[in-house]
Amino acid sequence: MLALIQEVAQAGDSSLARFQQGIPTEAPPLPGGVSVILRIIFNAPLWAWLLAIVLGGALAFVALRWVWTHRQALREWFTTRDRGMKAAVGVVLVAVFGLVGFTGVTSWEYMQHDNGFCVSCHVMEGPWNKFSVDAGKHSDLQCHDCHQQSMYASTRQLVLWVANRPQDIPEHSPVPNARCETCHEVNTANEDWERIATTAGHRTHLESDSTALKDVQCVTCHGAEVHAFLPASQTCGQSGCHENLKITLGKMAEQTTWHCNTCHQFTAEVPLLATRDSAAGTLRPGVKECTSCHQMKERLGEFDVSRDPHGGTCGTCHNPHTQETPQEAGKTCTEAGCHADWRSTPFHTGTAHRAVGEQCLTCHQAHAAKVDASDCVACHEAVRAGDGTLRPPLPFDTTRALRDVASAPSVRHAPVVAGPGPSGHPVVAPVPEDDPPVRGKGDVPPPDLRPPIRTSALPPSAVDTFPHARHTSLSCITCHVPPVTQRGNTLTFAQPRGCDICHHQAPRTNDCARCHARTALATPLNVPVSVAVPEHPARTREVAFAHEVHDSLTCVACHTTPVTLAPTAAVRSCTECHAEHHAAGRACASCHSGRELTIAHADDVGASHRACDACHTASTVRELTPDRSFCLTCHQPQQAEHYAPRECTTCHFLASPADFRARLVGGTPR
């Protein structure tokens, strides 16, 4: 592809050189003697021309006057001739007028529509040679299809040429844009050359409001050399255009055969409704043009256009005319007006990163631009090494790093010194090895005994560390970005807002079991519930809450607290759904299973089996008989093989059921 572009682009430079011998042209249309006589006449001085005009006019007047005064005699003479004479005179007159008319029409057709008339001048030999070679679609045209001028201008030009006075011929027969548009602007175009206005390069130049391109003509580029329609390499560098524009980028500067169209898609088609700026953007070199070079294919073999925020338009950042190294493209992020608002991002201007705010490639990967979490880790690990290049020295995982360095025996750190540091935290400084170690969560001992340097103490850290290893697939700035309402430029991860960025965004549509294991949900939870029985003070009891019993409900029916999704107080008391039903005389076992009863009475085995009237109505308790069936209400696993049919109280309380009944009443509430 590159070779083809180069060959086409250079055709405008080399066509004439390839045809130096020329092509035979037609001889002048005048016989040699006639041309000599005409040149003598045309070169006569002005007074001779005026005298000839006066004498010719006088003779013509005399002749016409004689004919007019003798018209009666001439008519009588003609009418008295015989039929043969009349026919002969008529034939002569018809022949004369016919010859004059035929000569005029033939001459007009030859001069106006036959390219041979223009080519007959030997000065047109060179231009005609180039036209016949590079004309392309123009080969079917006549000279006057493009070069149109008045009859007077054409006649004067012919006279001056025959008179051998070409130096007196002025600039003539211009080709305005309207002439080109008759062929290259066709509404029902079938070929590309019939819709030139839709190409990026022509839209950019013909619709520009630039002073240099004001009233620019098609022939400015396509006629820099007569009839060399393909723009030559020097066409773009004409005075007032792209003059003195050189390539300076890397090894591209060493190339001598580059043509502008090699990189700039001049003939790329753009939509008719596209703006001029949009068309100009199409001229920027893209990945297709850049990777047409073998070296760029190797360097960008794994380049993924879908990851490039600039859409693979290399020329957005790389400018071969102003840059000498590819790395200079990093400076264009803030200079080209693309990211002029970079200071409005707290990450760029915060205390931690403002020193490298304009060094985009420090964090942003070239050709991807997305910030990778590994980039942040690399910088923060360097900070932990204590090289002193970045302040404050925050480790990547603050809490875990503090634990690691606090347990190291060879590091010491001075107590906090009064006074704020650059970031607002107290200033600390290293102390000699002999000083007693200072331990604690807030200690950040230096890795070695380097000369004292000012640094900042870490702010108080959380109880437990954030699991970064579980979130390595995310970009760091997904979490470390301050909310819009927060003042300042801190990038500290804030809970619960930070977690809410990803978690619990749409709990009504999320599958909770995707994160929460079903085995954990299957285990009953001991939930403290306040039980209020009439005529008794309210007491707190633990109730076994089972998710499987409430499986018909959605999770968010109970978990309603924003972000944390913790159950509300009403949900925890069960009164959100269950009405207060604790009343004297009701049989608990009719609703609560043996497991739930066991949990409610499991504080003290001895106390759980006596003084029931502390919670239950005494009159009801007195009617109970603690026989085997009564005990099996709670102790169902022992129903089949536990010494049936013996009574439980006989062994466990050393009393018969009748004797043990008295112990069920008379107790105090637990």
Q: How confident is the model at residue 79 (pLDDT cuts 50, 70, 90)?
A: confident
What's the residue count for the chain?
670
Give pTM, 2 decimals. 0.46
> For the segment 98-108, what is each residue's pLDDT rounded down to a tens digit?
998 998 888 78
pLDDT score of 95 more than 90: yes
d(CA 457, CA 420): 10
d(CA 670, CA 668): 6
Least confident range from 68-72, 129-133, 404-408: namely: 404-408
| pLDDT for the residue 289 | 82
- pLDDT confidence of residue 86: 84
pLDDT value, residue 55: 93
List CB contacts of 85: < 8 A, sequence separation 6 or more. none
What pLDDT does residue 378 have?
65
On whether the CB atoms of residues 342 and 333 are closer than 8 A, the answer is yes
Higher pLDDT, 423 or 242: 242
pLDDT, tens digit (0-9, with 9 covering 90-100), for 552-576:
888 888 887 776 677 888 888 787 7
Tell me which of 669 and 636 has the higher pLDDT: 636
Using 50, 70 and 90 to split pLDDT, how confident is the model at 157? confident
- pLDDT one-digit tens code per residue, 17-68: 333 334 333 444 555 566 677 667 767 787 887 888 899 999 999 999 998 9
pLDDT for 372 equals: 57
- The least confident of 71-85, 160-174, 293-307, 386-400 is 386-400
Q: What gap in Å lies between CA 430 and CA 444, rounded to an integer?
A: 10
d(CA 464, CA 443): 16
Provide, rounded to the nearest whole percent, the portion of the chain with pLDDT above 90. 3
Joined tokens for residue 264: 């700039």
Residue type, 358: E
Helix residue ranges, H only, 114-239: 115-119, 125-134, 143-146, 151-162, 177-184, 200-206, 218-222
Rg (CA), the chain: 52
Q: What's the pLDDT tens digit per position in 167-218?
A: 787 777 788 888 888 887 766 666 666 677 778 888 888 887 777 777 788 8
Q: Give the model's pLDDT for residue 498.
A: 65
What's the mean pLDDT in 536-555?
80
Tens digit of each residue's pLDDT (9 = 90 or more) over 445-476: 444 444 444 444 444 444 445 667 677 777 67
Q: What is the mean pLDDT of the chain?
A: 70
Q: Are 412 and 445 in contact (CB under 8 A)?
A: yes
Pairwise pLDDT comparison (492 vs 323), residue with the higher score: 323
